[in-house]
Amino acid sequence: MISTFGAADDPAILLIGGASSSMDWWPPEFCTSLTGRYVIRYDHRDTGDAPSYPPGEPGYTGEDLVTDAVAVLDELGVASAHVVGISMGGALAQVMALDQPTRVRSLTAIATTASAGDDDLPGMAPEVASAFGALSEPDWTDHDAVVSYLVASQRILSAEPFDEADTREIASIAVARTKNIESSQRNHHATKGGRNSWRHRLPEIAVPTLVLHGDRDPLFPLPHGEALASEIRGARLVVLPNTGHEFPRRVWPQVVPLLLDLTSGG
């Protein structure tokens, strides 16, 4: 499913969500705050109203998820867009900028990386791995249990103050819209055929680039964002204070003007 905000003749912004995330994790209030822009959000495969596959058996690859982003622009008749991606979506946005450069006008990479395995970049915080290991899977048929599980998962990745009420509201909408919530939580992590690293190609990215990274991101610690900003020519790094692996409402007043400025060239 695709959802749009604003006028189609305004500069287009394509929002690409993270792993297991439907478009609901880009709240309408954020989309409408990008005034004067044609804001596009969509459901990844296995999320929301998109096609669903059996749990643990995704019928697609990581490369297909990049192709899906381009297909969204094709369906809307958008020749090129300012691409904003978070976490896995930030990785997809980078690959899109590398492989489909004519479709990307600018790149904004939020809480993401170009390589999770390089020795010079820190790994996941040990306490995060332990917390996820202690988190029991819910009954995937129990709406409320799944929502609570998603809230607990996001709490592990977030800095304080954690907005539980807002996270629970979004999670409830996402769970209600998703055809197979178990598949949504498993299948993006089970895809094959993607790329483990494209870091060596970052200097090829030629579009204006903004890197947004939380100073307390426990999944991809800040050096991941610093590496992106230093290896993409001309990229600007903005560190989001007291922010984990998340995009909370409290950073929107800082981020929205940056995005409007970046996308002001049409």
Residue 28: pLDDT over 90: yes
* Per-residue pLDDT reduced to its tens digit, 136-190: 999 999 999 999 999 999 999 999 999 999 999 999 999 999 999 999 999 898 8
pLDDT in the model for residue 197 = 77
pTM: 0.95
Confidence of residue 266 (pLDDT cuts 50, 70, 90): low
pLDDT at 24 over 80: yes
CB burial string 221-231: b at 16+ within 10 A, e below = bbbbbebbbee
DSSP state of 138: P
pLDDT 10s digits, 236-258: 999 999 999 999 999 999 999 99
Per-residue pLDDT tens over the stretch 46-95: 999 999 999 999 989 989 999 999 999 999 999 999 999 999 999 999 99
**Average confidence (pLDDT) over 196-223:** 94
Domain count, the chain: 1
Residues 131, 229: Cα–Cα separation, whole Å: 30
What is the model's pLDDT at position 138? 95
DSSP 61: B
**What CATH number corresponds to the domain at position 84?**
3.40.50.1820
Query: Is the pLDDT assigned to residue 201 strictly greater than 90?
Result: yes
Q: Which one, of 178, 111, 122, 114, lies nearest residue 146 by Cα?
A: 178
**Residues with a known catalytic role:** 87, 217, 245
Distances (CA, A) of 32 to 4, 169, 259: 10, 18, 13
**Residues 210/238, Cβ–Cβ less than 8 Å:** yes
pLDDT higher at 108 or 189: 108
Domain ranges, residue 50: 2-262
- Amino acid identity of residue 43, one-letter, is D
* CA gap 13, 35 in Å, rounded: 11
